[in-house]
Amino acid sequence: MSDILFQYYRVNPTTWFYLSSLLAIALFFKFNRVLSVRNLDLVGLILLAPGLLAVEYGGFKASPAVQQMGFMWIFAVCGALLVRMLFDSLMVRRPLLEPNLSVGGLVFLGLSLLVFLLANVITTRPQRDDLAGAAAATKLEARAAEVDADQLARLGPGYPLLFLLPQLSTQRLFTPDQASIGPAPAAGESRRALHETTARVMAIISQLAIVAGMVAVGWLHFENARLGIAAAVLYLLLPSTALMTGRVDHALPGALVLWAIAAYRRPLVSGALVGLAIGTIYYPVFLLPLWCSFYWERGIRRFALGVGTALALLVAALWITSPSAAVFAGQLRQMFGWIFPSEVSLEGFWALPFNDPVFRLPVLAAFIAMIATLAIWPAPKNLGTLLSCSAAVLLGSQFWKAHNGGLFMAWFLPLVLLTVFRPNLENRVALLVLDAEWFPRRRAA
């Protein structure tokens, strides 16, 4: 950006936290209703940033105690948001609380933020720690005759080809020295250059899809485009978005789940998008009980067909790109996360010396009990329930995720923001808004 704008320098994440928080309060805080739920939601969303900054500071300074404090702060705020999402269905009275800026001002601000965030993705050079995961995945991929049994444990579940992409850190709390920056791609490193370009393109498309999806949900389902635009602007303002703009594994699953919500009246399309999200990063598989419950009275067959078709296409792509049957079996295992929780190589909160990994197992058990409960209650489910409970499931997965759980905020933030701004959606149930089944069930007279 300094080549286009004279003397332009990226804003430090800490400075951006101060500025964006003040701007978010000015735009969305309801000063005439200080104790409203909207204001509490806004404060909770802003409070996610100090934990992120503490985690990055502790990682740079090699201070496990600071990282521990940062992760605990993130989990405390995420826990409050999880409770808020679970009780959202009980909030029947939802007064219309529009932002403090006109639609034209919101659109101008949103486009400006989007341009600067995406420009950071384009101009970012991967650093050595950004290339660590891609280098490990490339090394494992090259060993075609000997599949590394630790691949799933070291990289986590997800689509194997996605791990070949570098992680683009668009903002850093500290300016790295030249030794920590990866060398420029040489003539023999054209493959690495291709992976970096692919990561940039996919990150930009994913972020554009998130913003467009939030606007589309507001326009099509809230019947108020201003609410969708407001949610998108708040998403772009949050420091977590600025820190993780270039992370494909953060933005892509969130975009797929969000567009599944936007296309909920087309169960086949929604199922395909949820299936792609499952194949991409695995953890959206825990959305299936909730979504099947939503479509149970109408649309369940089309939804299941969409999920199955998307997963089958991803498996076929793995089969085509795998050099041998042994490599294909290993990649298939990684895609579907076939590993015991005790065998995973921990990274992030559960890897800190202060934490005993055994406590991750009861957290996982509580999460499974939660998704089983959401499959039954509330009934029948409407679009508002689907939105808030999907956010709750993705929030809950952060507490037991073995690889940097708590930092993947783009998975749930779009859904949380739409839940915060949504109107009453009690009449958006599958039985009323969906077309009839392809093969209607026979009912007894």
Q: How far apart are CA 131 and CA 166, in angstroms?
A: 5
Phi, psi of 215 (to 5 degrees): -65, -40
The residue type at 190: S
Q: How far apart are CA 267 and CA 275, in angstroms?
A: 12
CB 55 within 8 A of CB 347: no
Give the per-residue pLDDT at 145: 36
What does the pLDDT look like over 263-303, one tens digit per residue? 999 999 999 999 999 999 999 999 999 999 999 999 999 99
Q: Which residue has the higher pLDDT, 149 or 155?
A: 155
CB count in 10 Å sphere of residue 57: 18
Q: How far apart are CA 222 and CA 225, in angstroms?
A: 7
Give which of 331, 308, 200, 236 is closest to 24, Cα–Cα: 236
Give which of 269, 313, 254, 348 is closest to 58, Cα–Cα: 348
> Which range among 13-27, 153-167, 311-325 shows the weakest confidence by mean pLDDT?
153-167
User: Does the structure show a pLDDT above 90 at 152?
Assistant: no
Between the alpha carbon of residue 193 and those of residues 164, 196, 245, 258, the distances in Å are 12, 5, 19, 30
Mean confidence (pLDDT) of the chain: 87
Give the per-residue pLDDT at 249: 92
H or E segment to which residue 16 belongs: helix 13-28
**How is residue 193 written in tokens?**
């250059």
User: Does the structure show a pLDDT above 90 at 155?
Assistant: no
Q: How far apart are CA 11 and CA 9, in angstroms?
A: 6
CB count in 10 Å sphere of residue 27: 18
Give the per-residue pLDDT at 271: 97
Average pLDDT over residues 219-226: 94
Give the per-residue pLDDT at 139: 52
CB count in 10 Å sphere of residue 399: 20
* pLDDT category of residue 4 using cuts at 50, 70 and 90: low
Which range among 64-68, 193-197, 229-233 has the greatest average pLDDT? 229-233
The residue type at 165: L
What does the pLDDT look like over 81-117, one tens digit per residue? 999 999 998 887 788 788 999 999 999 999 999 999 9
What does the pLDDT look like over 318-338, one tens digit per residue? 999 888 888 888 889 889 988
Domain boundaries, the chain: 13-176+190-433
